[in-house]
Amino acid sequence: MVMVKEVEIAVKRLKTMTAKSEMEFAVEVEVLGRVRHKNLLGLMGFYAGGDERLIVYDYMPNHSLLTHLHGSLAKECKLDWPRRMNIAIGAAEGLAAKRPIEKRPGGVKRDIVQWATPYVSKGSFNHIVDPNLKGEFDLEQLKNVINIAMSCTDSCPEKRPSMNEVVERLKSGVGVGIGVERS
């Protein structure tokens, strides 16, 4: 007798086949195949045949982080500053457990660094934070997170902190209780 257990899954399908999307697919499968963390979706499997690319994940009933930050749930802003800090620490802990993957030329990192650098140089940190927070965040924690992020994008790889250092710096910047002040 075989018992069949119903399992809910989520399937991500690659929309267009370009060299960039193909590389992103391969990196995502590689990373999720190696990393296990409570804050990351579990990779159940993938399919790459012909012009079809699929990634099968554990189903997440509360939607993705992207949906909460920029999608249909963004207006409700359920992700307040303390939750975002916890997500940042959790993501850094998950990344600390894997081998680094070098940035691809022309990747997203370069774009966000170019966008944020002028604001950081002027000390205009409020221009970088998500407007959906409506000013409810800890300014010192924000500065700490931005400084950590900028150190991670240093043009000299030897000057970049390890992910373990990032985790420690994030945790030390949060303190015992994550407070929220209007900035």
CB distance 132 to 74 below 8 Å: yes
SS3 label, residue 55: strand
Q: What pLDDT is recorded for position 115?
A: 77
Neighbours of 122 (CB within 10 A): 9
Rounded to whole angstroms, the Cα distance separating 36 from 94 reads 7
Between 68 and 126, name the one with better pLDDT. 126
Between 37 and 108, name the one with better pLDDT. 37
- Give 8-52 pLDDT, tens digit per residue: 888 889 888 888 888 888 888 887 777 766 666 778 889 988 888
What domains, with CATH codes, occur in the chain? 9-58 (3.30.200.20), 75-174 (no CATH)
Alpha helices in 44-80 (DSSP H): 65-70
Rounded to whole angstroms, the Cα distance separating 140 from 155 reads 25
Q: Is the pLDDT of residue 108 over 50?
A: no
- Give 51-80 pLDDT, tens digit per residue: 889 988 887 777 666 776 777 666 676 677
CB distance 36 to 96 below 8 Å: no
Rounded to whole angstroms, the Cα distance separating 15 from 45 reads 18
Burial degree of 6 (CB within 10 A; 0-12, 13-18, 19+): exposed
Q: What pLDDT is recorded for position 95?
A: 65
- Give 127-183 pLDDT, tens digit per residue: 888 777 878 888 899 899 988 988 988 888 888 898 889 988 998 887 534 444 444
Alpha carbon distances (Å) from 156 to 18, 145, 149, 153:
30, 20, 14, 8
